[in-house]
Amino acid sequence: MRIILLLNLFFSTASLAQSADFIILKKHNKTVATYFSGTNISFTTNTGAFFEGRINQIKNDSIYLQEFLTRYLPTTFGTYIIDTMGSYHYKYHYNQVAAIGRAEKTNFNMRGSGANLMGGGIVLAVASGVVYLVDRQKFSAPLLIAAVALGTAGYLMAKGHKSGMLIGKKYKLVYMNMHP
């Protein structure tokens, strides 16, 4: 009887475990981040929708995401509390992720300022061209060169600022299937 009890003790404690699937974010074949069940993620989809939430599960090339809806509610003491109003569940294929994260908001809008600078450069260049056609004595070549330089700088400012880590040439998502 003792031998059966001892053997039962050894065989009942032996258990098999297998880790769940996960997703790796790589930059030039170097791991930047690893996402697995229970971690938080924020990403933008191919359609432009932005999601931020907790990963419930990663299975069959899909990310099962839970996004919480929170609101600030006033109390009778004049303070605020954060209350969870509900949650939404989403399922996305990992190939639908276009960018990880979103650029932090600052007080300076690089794209808007670049667009304004480019627009001002275009207006100055067109006005300089009109002055050249109407009265060549008042035409100023340095003004035209400065206008073109301002327009180019504005274009580079507006184009160069990207939000998030775009999945493509530099960054890529790799799905790791842990099931046999």
Mind listing the pLDDT tens digit for each residue in 145-178? 999 999 999 888 888 655 678 888 889 999 988 8
Q: What is the pLDDT of residues 62-107, one digit of tens each?
A: 999 999 998 999 999 999 999 988 999 999 998 998 888 764 556 6
Q: Which domain holds residue 58?
A: 20-103+164-176
Q: Which two tokens stand for residue 115?
A: 């667009």
Are the beta carbons of 121 and 150 closer than 8 angstroms?
yes
- 139 and 59 co-located in one domain: no
- 57 and 89 co-located in one domain: yes
Whole-number Å distance between alpha carbons of 140 and 166? 43
Residue 118 inside a domain? The answer is yes
Q: Give me the number of domains the chain comprises.
A: 2
13: helix, strand or coil: helix
Q: 12 CB contacts (<8 Å, ≥6 apart)?
A: none
Asked whether residue 55 carries a pLDDT value surpassing 90, the answer given is: yes
- 98 and 122 co-located in one domain: no
- 82 and 168 co-located in one domain: yes
Residue 48 inside a domain? The answer is yes
- 47 and 85 co-located in one domain: yes
Q: What is the pLDDT of residues 6-54, one digit of tens each?
A: 666 666 555 555 568 899 999 998 999 999 999 999 998 888 888 899 9
- 98 and 172 co-located in one domain: yes
Whole-number Å distance between alpha carbons of 138 and 132? 8
- 95 and 156 co-located in one domain: no
- 30 and 94 co-located in one domain: yes
Residue 13 inside a domain? The answer is no
| Whether the predicted model's global pTM rises above the 0.85 cut | no
> Reading across the β-sheet that carries 50-59, which strands appear in turn?
80-93, 62-74, 50-59, 40-45, 97-100, 165-166
Whole-number Å distance between alpha carbons of 99 and 57? 20
Residue 94 inside a domain? The answer is yes
- 43 and 121 co-located in one domain: no
Q: Tell me phi and psi for residue 125, to 5 degrees.
A: -65, -40
Residue 12 inside a domain? The answer is no
